[in-house]
Amino acid sequence: MIKLYDNYVFISQEGGESGERLYSKKFREKSVVDVSGLRIGEGLVVAAGPCSVENEAMILDIARSVKAAGADMIRGGAFKPRTSPYSFQGLAEKGIEYLVEAREETGLPIVTEIMNPEYYRYFDRVDMLQVGSRNAQNFDLLRFLGKQKKPVLLKNGMGNTAREWLETAEYILSGGNGNVVLCYRGVRGIENSTRFTMNVGSIIYAKSETHLPICADPSHASGRRDFVESMALASVAAGADMLEIEVHNDPDNALSDSEQQIRPVDLKRIIEKARALKDLLSHEI
């Protein structure tokens, strides 16, 4: 049962543990999220770019490179939540200005992370807002984004179950913003051969439970650039509608996450293989 209460949507628990959730396929079979004319949920969309926007020339160069490689969107961090306060924290609003320049030159929509509702004034010209793993259960931020109209790329918390990931989306949906794409980036576990444990079963589960498009982030899951391709293809095989991949023209000297960023030439190969696989799987054999 769905009721409005003080401008929020209350979803009752009647009918079992799952209740009536707005992310559920009970409401629709499939959603397509429009990001400045780019339709996520139809075919395979690829967002690519650096972990962090480091300077103007760098993001313009990478934006040109990822477009030439076949990417559909530019990703890049301007406001950076880092484990250590002494790590590079991003260029903040200046970084967003550089991303906008890159979009104006290449025509590729921007996706970048928002950490705090107070920063929203800097995101007017951003096409898609990313909620990172560390803010996946920042419920004040999620409620705030539910009142906005901008599309949201919502990552799973690194300690969340797949069900909890879906519930975080409900905070945004219940506020009235249905433009949500779920992004799986793995979870923290006992395995340390990869940066995080990427269970493609979580993508399969999400696809079975929700009408929302699913993105995968093989860069953070692997933590190693030589694993990104295999994890990307596994995610597409599991049903991912979108990939978000970290790309840098000089990854060894990147200011953040250098080990997991790939080069544009590798991105081109991954996109070609991923789109071929997506096309194969979309046709009955």
% of residues, the chain, pLDDT over 90? 87
Spatial CA neighbour of 184 closest among 157, 159, 209, 208: 157
Q: What pLDDT is attached to residue 20?
A: 85
Predicted structure pTM score? 0.92
Indicate the helix (H) or strand (E) that contains 65: helix 56-69
Chain segment 226-259, per-residue pLDDT in tens: 999 999 999 999 999 999 999 999 999 999 999 9
Question: Would you state the pLDDT for residue 151?
Answer: 98
The pairing of beta strand 214-216 with beta strand 242-246: parallel
> By the 8 A CB rule, do 110 and 103 touch?
yes
Handedness of CA 13, 17, 22, 24 (dihedral sign): negative
Q: With bands split at pLDDT 50, 70 and 90, how would you rate the model's confidence at 82?
A: confident
Q: What percent of the chain has pLDDT over 70?
A: 93
pLDDT of residue 282: 87
Closest CA to 75 of 180, 176, 198, 220: 220
Tens digit of each residue's pLDDT (9 = 90 or more) over 158-189: 999 999 999 999 999 999 999 999 999 999 99
Confidence of residue 15 (pLDDT cuts 50, 70, 90): very low
Domain spans of the chain, in order of start:
29-281
Residue 13 has pLDDT above 90, yes or no: no
Report the CATH number of the 29-281 domain.
Answer: 3.20.20.70
Cβ atoms of 68 and 43 within 8 Å: the answer is: no
* Closest alpha carbon to 38 in 127, 121, 119, 98: 127
Give mean pLDDT, residues 188-214: 95
Asked whether the predicted pLDDT for residue 100 surpasses 80, the reply is yes
Residue 7 has pLDDT above 70, yes or no: no
Average pLDDT of every residue of the chain: 92
Nearest to 175 by CA among 223, 201, 143, 131: 143
